[in-house]
Amino acid sequence: MLIELGLYKPFRKDPERMWRVARDIGVPAFIRHVLAPGWGYGRDRVPEADGVVLAFNHLSAIDPPLVGAYTRRTVYMMAKAELLEMPLVGEFLRMLGSFGVRRGEGDRDSLRVARWLLEHGHAVGVFMEGTRQTFGHPGPAHAGAAMLAIQEGVPLVPCGLDTFQWSLSNRRKCAVVWGHPIDLSGLPRNGRGYKEGTAVVGEEILRLWRLAAEAVAAGFPAGLPDGARRHGHVGHGGALVMDARSWPREPWAAGPLGPVFEGA
């Protein structure tokens, strides 16, 4: 419906502009102060330019917008295809640059889209477990995020979120903790390398999740034991906006329901 009405056209079909407008009209502030009261930590650890994989744990529906509220980068989220096929919600996510992956099918097209984004200097967001966890702590990590970082030779920034049991009827306090970039370039580009990289990243996300939970329990201290400093959401004027690039027109880019992204 949104796409059919052409609501993306004022933004030149560009997610970078959509993210900037969302920040300018106060969406991150609404998320932080109303939907999920809390703080972020370590935002300066996310590189401000070039391709990077951002890897997080996944505990609630607020996780994707919460991640976006606490980083200056435009995050191209790898989301389940079923979500992007939904009217309104799915269309809005596509307008923000999300692209679909069909879980459990070894979706090569989605991985090609992610690699294209990284090659062109974007930040790709991946939930390490592949789906939301229901037991209150991070689950087993999948190899996708580490594989992308190794294949494209880009850093991977881990992120821990404490959002368990958040819902619209339980708008609990939440925290986001960014870790230092991890260099996986020394690992081989094969199954063994992806497995080793995944183990390293999974362990770091578990550590960051614990720090996030401790920060909430402690009332959001100014700093964490690992040196991460507290910060608020990214609002008006704080976004890092890249020049628009045309979304790939190859057949493999159409399958993952990529965003309406034809460039300026």
CATH of the domain at 69: 3.40.1130
d(CA 2, CA 189): 40
pLDDT one digit per residue (tens) for the chain, 264 residues: 545 545 555 555 677 878 888 888 888 999 999 999 999 999 999 999 899 999 999 999 899 889 999 999 999 988 877 777 777 767 777 777 888 877 655 578 888 889 999 998 999 999 998 888 888 889 999 999 999 999 999 999 999 999 999 999 999 999 999 999 999 999 999 999 999 999 999 999 999 999 999 999 999 999 999 999 999 999 877 777 776 666 677 777 766 555 544 433
Residue 184: predicted pLDDT = 96
Q: What are phi and psi of 127, to 5 degrees?
A: -85, 120
In a domain, 243, yes or no: no
Q: Does 240 map to a domain?
A: no
The range of the structural domain enclosing residue 93 comes to: 9-232
209 belongs to a structural domain: yes
Name the burial class of residue 6, with classes exposed (0-12), middle (13-18) and buried (19+) by CB atoms within 10 angstroms of its CB: exposed
Q: How many Cα neighbours within 13 Å face the side chain of 36? A: 29
Assigned domain for 212 exists: yes
- How confident is the model at residue 261, as a pLDDT? 44
3-state secondary structure of 14: coil
